Structure 1
Amino acid sequence: MRTPLPAPRRSRQPGATINTIATPSRTGSPRQASVRHLPVNLFASVMGISGLATAWRQATHQFGASPLVEGAIGAVAVGIFILLCLAYGAKVLRHPDAVQGEFRHPIAGNFFGTVTIAILLISSVVAPVSALASQVLWTIGAATTIALSFTIVSRLLRGKVDAGHAVPAWLIPGVATLDITVAGGTMPMAWAHELNLFAMAVGTTMALLFFTMIMSRLIHHHEKLASEMVPSMMILIAPFEVGFLAYTHFFQRVDTFAAMLFYFGLFVFLALVFKIFRRSIPFAAGWWALSFPIAALCNAALRYAEHVHNAALTALAVALLAFLSVLIAVLTYRTLHLLASGRLLAPK
């Protein structure tokens, strides 16, 4: 699921728009690999790996797992984040038209939220090493996330939005504001409390609004999502599991409302898992879109299991951690294979 340049006209199949529209490189043949074709949604890999690192941090706290596991995974997340920033920075400098096209696209533009969420999650990853670095990264991530949310909402309020463009990727900017509170719920700055409350209010409302619009499109729209976009359906669990994490980090408690968020997200996950993990769906960078929602579910399950002290829920949390670990390993291997073959940066 490669993020595209803008379509010359509205597409009746938004999934096909994302995966089939590409402009040949100005400096080479149409099939030549180039940083011009680096998909911005690849930043979702940082989100998923960072989520895995925080899950293992929780496992260290709950089950006595080695802190070296969390540290190693966190180091990988930071390393990939730096590499992607350098690579996408090169794309910005060398192919600004391609970046502008991605950002203005009614669907692909939402994936820029993966960049701001990645910054927020990296701030949590580096927190045990440097509190100052964590606070600086969180501040940058919060500012860029709010700016992106304003931009996306302003774009939608212009009107004349194609109902077929209401796809799960729309949730990314909304969930991004919730991640401000997930990563910064306990930030010590005097102004952080009100910013976290603002972010949680905006994120909750946007996520639920977009969730309703997307579900309506999936149920009533006569054209189904393209197969390459099916993995992104896992984003539908994010408002509830990220909402659980934001709520519990901010209020420092797990109550009935938090439990309801967790359980509904779990229900949606179970409803989607067999629909998404099918051999008929080709692998692409867009598969990373499902990694962070599952990581959020895993983190929520670990936190909830710790609260209720229930053996079945503890087993579920451990199973989700194992599943997430294997999933991240497989996605990493498949992505490296795409990169080595030249297909990751090739136009389609």
Structure 2
Amino acid sequence: MDGSYLGSPATSQTTMAAAAAAEAAASLKRRSIPSSSSISMLTRFHAGYFRISLALSGQALLWRTLTGDGDGDSSSSSTPMVRSLPSAAFLLLWSLALLALVALAALYAARCLLRFPAVRAEFRHHVAMNYLFAPWISCLLLLQSAPPFLRPAAAPYRLLWWAFSLPILALDVKVYGQWFTRGRKFLSMVANPASLITVIGNLVTARAAAKMGWHEAAVAIFAVGAAHYLVLFVTLYQRFPGSDSLPAVLRPVFFLFFAAPSMASLAWDAIAASFDTCCKMLFFVSLFLFASLVSRPALFRRAMRRFSVAWWAYSFPVTVLALASAEYAQEVRQAAANALMLALAVLSVAVTLALMLFSALRTADLLPHDDPFDCPHLPM
């Protein structure tokens, strides 16, 4: 065939017309469907991002406790410097925590609508599904630290408690039920430190019920959480194959080891109306586990190489430990206990501020393409 035929004007015009038609069709297709970037973002977004709201909600409760704006008399254990903090600072922090929770909930609702297969896959993931408790825990923490217009004796408080507690109880039936009934998900194979979030959900619910004066409900929910905490703790302590399946980037969730007994001490304190011997034992166990983890920085070295949303798992456990130390200091009224409370509170605030700063400066790392919770088999 003659080479001049290939470069003829008619052929060039035909090629250009075909290219223009293809470009127009592609443009029409792009306008008719959601942008691939937004779909990709919803695919990579998961319930693990509620670590952020969990951390901020815990901070709001800590600040309310230390500034003496709570329902009890926790302010007696606070230093004059802490009590002198303006109430506007607490309101600002509480509003920020609420805003973060609402924003994350809206994103997750969009994910449920547009990427439901990814949500279903997340529910079946042995680590990711535990964070489905996190938004409801955040709601209960915000409820307990709410400004004075929302008190435990008020009817809206009780309605909100039911709204936030029922999903946790439903998830309890689902998660705990599949552990001891016949099925494929044996606890020794799926248990991991993130599973402790399920226990924390029960303990936060029990504490909120006790604040309303619902003693029997609080004891019942506490009993469920305590029973499963013992089983989980023994299982994780024996390091079965399932407990070693946690990716290195998620090792900050090991801090949940001392978050659970810390929250248990707070819940029992609310039930018994005093920081009794049982609360003290749980608090001392938390301190021991905290010391055991912070003395092994090599365990978290790989997780600290690059910023990720998993870093937010450091904040909430330290905050709960600081809350427990505040109740302990109020009970014993000793200088050493007050110093410990102040040190843990400062550490908690410093960790949260550092995480907020990293999140603002490293926004590109908040939605990485190699997240352990990703579902790569799903279309983007």
Same fold, TM exceeding 0.5? yes
- Contact 2:52/2:312 (CA < 8 Å) preserved in 1? yes
Equivalent positions of 1:182-331 (< 5 A) are 182-188=207-213, 192-217=214-239, 225-276=246-297, 278=300, 280-281=302-303, 282-331=306-355
For structure 2, the residue ranges without an aligned partner over 5 or more in a row are 1-32, 69-74, 371-380
* Structure 1 position 82 matched with structure 2 position 107: no
TM-aligned CA deviation for residue 279 of structure 1: 5.0
TM-aligned CA deviation for residue 167 of structure 1: 1.0
TM-aligned CA deviation for residue 230 of structure 1: 1.4
- Contact 2:54/2:134 (CA < 8 Å) preserved in 1? yes
Q: SS where residue 258 of structure 1 aligns?
A: helix
Q: SS where residue 67 of structure 2 aligns?
A: helix
Partners of 2:235 and 2:215 in 1: how far apart? 30
Alignment-mate amino acid for residue 91 of structure 1? R
Equivalent residue number for residue 20 of structure 1: none
Partners of 1:94 and 1:300 in 2: how far apart? 41
Equivalent residue number for residue 119 of structure 1: 139
Equivalent residue number for residue 97 of structure 1: 117
Identity %: 26
Q: SS where residue 185 of structure 1 aligns?
A: helix
**Count of residue correspondences:** 317
Equivalent residue number for residue 47 of structure 1: 54
TM-aligned CA deviation for residue 200 of structure 1: 0.5
TM-score (norm 1): 0.84
Larger radius of gyration: 2
Alignment-mate amino acid for residue 265 of structure 1? S
TM-aligned CA deviation for residue 225 of structure 1: 4.4
- Contact 2:258/2:289 (CA < 8 Å) preserved in 1? yes
Q: Deviations over 1:169-203 (max 9, x none)?
A: 11111221111022331215xxx332212110101
Partners of 1:116 and 1:178 in 2: how far apart? 12
- Contact 1:126/1:133 (CA < 8 Å) preserved in 2? no
Equivalent residue number for residue 174 of structure 1: 199
- Contact 2:165/2:205 (CA < 8 Å) preserved in 1? yes
- Contact 1:182/1:245 (CA < 8 Å) preserved in 2? yes
Q: Deviations over 1:98-122 (max 9, x none)?
A: 1111112122111111122112112
Partners of 1:284 and 1:164 in 2: how far apart? 26
* Structure 1 position 333 matched with structure 2 position 340: no
Q: Deviations over 1:59-93 (max 9, x none)?
A: 11233232233222111111101111111111111
- Contact 2:191/2:242 (CA < 8 Å) preserved in 1? no
Structure 1 range deviating more: 264-273 or 283-292: 283-292
Q: SS where residue 34 of structure 1 aligns?
A: helix
Equivalent residue number for residue 6 of structure 1: none
Structure 1 range deviating more: 325-334 or 268-277: 268-277
Alignment-mate amino acid for residue 289 of structure 1? A
Partners of 2:126 and 2:233 in 1: how far apart? 16
TM-aligned CA deviation for residue 243 of structure 1: 0.5
Q: Deviations over 1:211-235 (max 9, x none)?
A: 11111117x8895743212111000
Q: Residues 223 and 104 (structure 1 numbering): CA distance in 2 closer, same or farther, change over 3 Å? A: closer
TM-aligned CA deviation for residue 152 of structure 1: 0.4
- Contact 1:57/1:70 (CA < 8 Å) preserved in 2? yes
Q: Deviations over 1:129-164 (max 9, x none)?
A: 323443332221211111111110122233444645
Q: For the aligned residues, what is the CA RMSD?
A: 2.4
- Contact 2:192/2:243 (CA < 8 Å) preserved in 1? no
- Contact 1:50/1:121 (CA < 8 Å) preserved in 2? yes
Partners of 1:222 and 1:289 in 2: how far apart? 17
TM-aligned CA deviation for residue 206 of structure 1: 0.9
Q: SS where residue 130 of structure 1 aligns?
A: coil
Equivalent residue number for residue 139 of structure 1: 162
Q: Residues 29 and 54 (structure 1 numbering): CA distance in 2 closer, same or farther, change over 3 Å? A: closer
Alignment-mate amino acid for residue 40 of structure 1? A
TM-score (norm 2): 0.77
TM-aligned CA deviation for residue 270 of structure 1: 0.8
- Contact 2:130/2:195 (CA < 8 Å) preserved in 1? yes
Q: Residues 138 and 221 (structure 1 numbering): CA distance in 2 closer, same or farther, change over 3 Å? A: closer
Partners of 1:90 and 1:222 in 2: how far apart? 32
- Contact 1:39/1:285 (CA < 8 Å) preserved in 2? no
Q: Residues 217 and 72 (structure 1 numbering): CA distance in 2 closer, same or farther, change over 3 Å? A: same
Equivalent residue number for residue 65 of structure 1: 84
For structure 1, the residue ranges without an aligned partner over 5 or more in a row are 1-25
